[in-house]
Structure 1
Amino acid sequence: MKETIFEALRESHAIQRSLVRKLMLSHPGEHRVEVFTALRIELAAHEAAEERYLYAPILMDDRGLHASRDALADHHKMDEMVDDLQTRDHAGRGWMATVHKLSKELHDHLREEEKIFFQLSGKILTSAQKTGLATKYWRDYRRMHVMLEET
């Protein structure tokens, strides 16, 4: 049986949870910067591919309009936090406070997405779409990872 878009996204979600956990436990220094960079790239690659290959098709169905908009707003909120973290001193007092906010936002978003959005999307998408979107997601996800790692 071929992988579905939901299984593909859960794999990336597990990576995100692991990286944010490592970042929360990190101490100022090179390791913290490496973990933050890995999380930043993972979030950006995942968001771009997810928005293109899950949110966009669901946004086109009236039943998925509100949920898609809500999920896109969550991504925007997390992007702003990541941008803020990137411009500040990783050893500064407020940096970890923002990491804690990002962790909470990320965990809330992933939980809501997996428990509510995936179920709604499962009713909207056909079986063929679910597997086809997984293939497209992984292709775009990998492409974005390469592009972001080079910048």
Structure 2
Amino acid sequence: MQIFEALRQDHEKQRLLLKILNETSGDTAARREYYADLKQQLERHAVAEERHFYSPLLEYDEAVELSRHGIAEHHEIDELLEKLDETDMSSSAWLHHLKTLREKVEHHLADEEQGFFQTAGKLLNSSEKEQLAKGYIDEMKSETKAA
């Protein structure tokens, strides 16, 4: 498996969790559970992606700006998660923040999949793509066990 497939698999999990959460109502146990899953997925994914995708690509001039942009978007997503944590889940403000988070995450994923992956695909050889995927997957698995 190459890094792009590994990242896409987690991107799909994030999209699904955001969709499910958007369809919940009130301060329910289901909303709490799905939000906890989403938050954990986004946080773990960001760390592993920065370590096993963005950082190695910083070596290439063509990818520096794209890497910085992706990392900056991770920070924006972290800030939106903090807003959600600080807001009552049963309030309309929580749903508003969730909508903003969904838009930000979906924009970020589209940026990566429709632009950055193509640039990275040209810069990395097959062996590098596979090694990065292995490191990413191993880190995600170890974080899952630790959580």
Q: Identify the TM-score tier after normalising by the shorter chain.
A: over 0.9
The code of the aligned residue for 1:104 comes to E
The code of the aligned residue for 1:4 comes to Q
CA contact (8 A) 1:48 1:141 kept: no
Tell me the residue number matched to 2:112: 113
Per-residue CA shift, 1:60-87, capped at 9, x if unaligned?
2111100000001111000110111112
Tell me the residue number matched to 2:3: 5
Tell me the residue number matched to 1:62: 61
TM normalised by structure 2 equals 0.96
Sequence identity of aligned pairs in percent?
34
The two structures, once aligned, show a CA RMSD in angstroms of: 0.9
TM normalised by structure 1 equals 0.94
Matches within 5 A, 1:74-113: 74-113=73-112
Using the alignment, how far apart are the partners of 1:143 and 1:20 within structure 2? Answer: 24
Gaps of 5+ in 1: none
Tell me the residue number matched to 1:26: 24
* Deviation at residue 110 of structure 1 after TM alignment: 0.4
Using the alignment, how far apart are the partners of 1:44 and 1:108 within structure 2? Answer: 17
Using the alignment, how far apart are the partners of 1:49 and 1:57 within structure 2? Answer: 12
- Matched residue SS, 1:106: helix
Using the alignment, how far apart are the partners of 2:18 and 2:82 within structure 1? Answer: 15
* Deviation at residue 145 of structure 1 after TM alignment: 2.6
How many equivalent pairs are there?
A: 146
Gaps of 5+ in 2: none
